Amino acid sequence: MTRRSWRPSHLTALAAVGALALAACTPPDGSGEPTPSETVPTAEPSTDMPSETPSPTSTAEPLGWGPTEDEVDDAIAVAAEMTPEDVAGQVILARFPGTEPADAAAVLSADHLAGVVVFGGNVASAEQVADTAEAVQEAQGELGRDWPAIIAVDNEGGLVQRLSAATGDWTSFPPFMAAGAADDADVVTAAAEAMATELRATGINYDFAPVADVTIGAADPIIGDRSPSGDPERAARAVTAAVQGFADGGVLSSLKHFPGHGSLTVDSHEDLPTQSASAEELADRDLVPFQVGVDAGAPTVMMGHIAVEAWDPGVPASLSPEAYQVLREDLGFTGVAITDALDMGALTQTRTSDEIAVEALAAGADLLLGPVDVAEAQHGIVSALEDGSLDRERVNEAAGRVIALMRWQADEAERIGPVSVAESDSGGAASQALSAAAVTVVQGTCGGALAGPRIHVRGGTADDWDAFVDAAEQVGLQVVPLEQPADTSVRLLTSVTPSGTADVAISLDAPWLLTGTDAPVRIAAFGRTAGAFEAVAAVLAGDAPAPGSLPIEVDGLAATSC
């Protein structure tokens, strides 16, 4: 069943009577639950909002991230007409409870928010997420808005993919470090496009990806293989390819976590990390993938809770005017700057929700992600506008950028065409292709069979073991019980089973785990998806090459032996 993308009134054919309508999503049927529909009915404009009138097509060139400057200015003018409560809500994204579509819609409506964020606890099935998105968009129409609400998710691949981790209705993708290992723009772009298609099939229009952090490897406690590489240029290539893929799939992307979390050893979920590198060192390393991603047209950048000594000592970048100035003036970014989640310890240890919201907007944020107390954040913004401590023009600018962003996304989704809920798990081939391009032999012979035909397998979880056995048997390898003789012993290395001896060691998680074994053959698989197991089994059987190379230097290991 095809679900129509939100279609703003400036894209909708007007009725012969000339009545101007605001597009809205399909209302609930008689059961009271949102249902899929092939049609998109219209709703009358709100009486407290000015009706939109078609304007001449702008001749201005599009900005680097999509809309034209005139379109952004028009959206800022819309924001300027909003009530303080409306404009304050239009710069906030919030979580919602449970899996009932009506509950998500109620969260949006209560504080007139820009949108909602889907987490694992909000996911029961692809149809349910699509119904949730429709309910939220219906609520958006009832607010009198002619642009879609944001339905966002964290879906990077690897450890961070909220949907496939909850149910099997979506494809599981390898961690983004697989993109760095593959270093193949076409494969990476195809994977990101496939991921975007699956998201849009269930009503999601914004993904907090790709990760543009440059990792330092094992000393990096939070990013790790979420980063594409420890090499800035290689990371930049992966980021560029992913940004293109998300655009091709019609979903908004977000470079994160500016100015780079991969070289830090403190987790900003818990405390405020400090970046002590000089401005020149940052420009030469951490900022490189962000600059290239901005140049590639990334529409949003996520500001990390990272205090940069060279810019604004002791102040998180998400709250620092200097950090936003670097992003805007040095990197030339003109899109939407979104904060990292505002419920993280780096901020909440010292500030309340209203203080954080006002400080972030004043510093230059356009979109506030996940305050601890959403109502307090919204009321804090309203109060600051009323007493003059927060400039209304700054908030108009922020809200206007978000409105322009969502109008542009709706245009792009309309241009690309609708997708159906059935496409929520259509990315398997693209995921497998990325894993096949990433698998890396770092020690041992290159080419020919590396194991078998009879093998023992140790390590990993029960699910890892089962998935590996299935993939091995598909290529003719026979996994035998440990008490029976075998030709090759295989050890699966993970963060839970990080070491051990064997004839062949395979790292399913970060590649530096391969230093914890003395196996004569060592392989980095970059993930534990079905495609990753298929790819590594094909290499073991000698049926496929290992084209990847380590995207980060690991002491004692070659980048590749091929």
Residues belonging to the active site: 269, 340
Cα separation, 537 vs 403, in Å, equals: 48
Tell me, rounded to whole angstroms, the distance of Cα 217 from its chain centroid.
21
Q: Which two tokens stand for residue 67?
A: 């809309």
Whether the CB-CB separation of 308 and 275 falls below 8 Å is answered with yes
| Amino acid symbol at 485 | P
- Give dist(CA 530, CA 535) in Å, integer: 9
Q: In sequence order, which ranges of 95-224 are alpha helices (DSSP H)? A: 101-110, 126-142, 162-166, 177-182, 185-201
Give the SS3 label for residue 487: coil
Question: Would you say 6 and 413 are in contact if contact means Cβ atoms under 8 Å apart?
Answer: yes
At CA 331, angle to CA 325 and CA 332, rounded to 5? 85
Can you say whether residue 97 is alpha, beta or left, with left for phi > 0 and alpha for psi between -120 and 50 degrees?
Answer: beta
Cβ burial of 94 (10 Å; 0-12, 13-18, 19+) is: buried
- Rounded distance, CA 227 to CA 83, Å? 41
| Contact in structure between 252 and 405 (CB atoms under 8 Å) | yes
Alpha-carbon span 88 to 100, nearest angstrom: 26
For residue 536, what are its two tokens? 């590594």
DSSP strands (E only) in 60-120: 92-94, 115-118
The full 3-state SS of 45-66, as one line of letters, equals CCCCCCCCCCCCCCCCCECCCC
Q: Please, is 372 exposed, middle or buried when counting C-beta atoms within 10 Å of its C-beta (0-12, 13-18, 19+)?
A: middle
Determine the angle formed by the axes of helices 392-416 and 69-80, rounding to 10 degrees: 130
Contact (CB, 8 A) for 167 and 125: yes
- Residue 359 tokens, joined: 């400080």
Q: Are 553 and 219 in contact (CB under 8 A)?
A: no
Kind of pairing, strands 22-23 and 274-275? unpaired
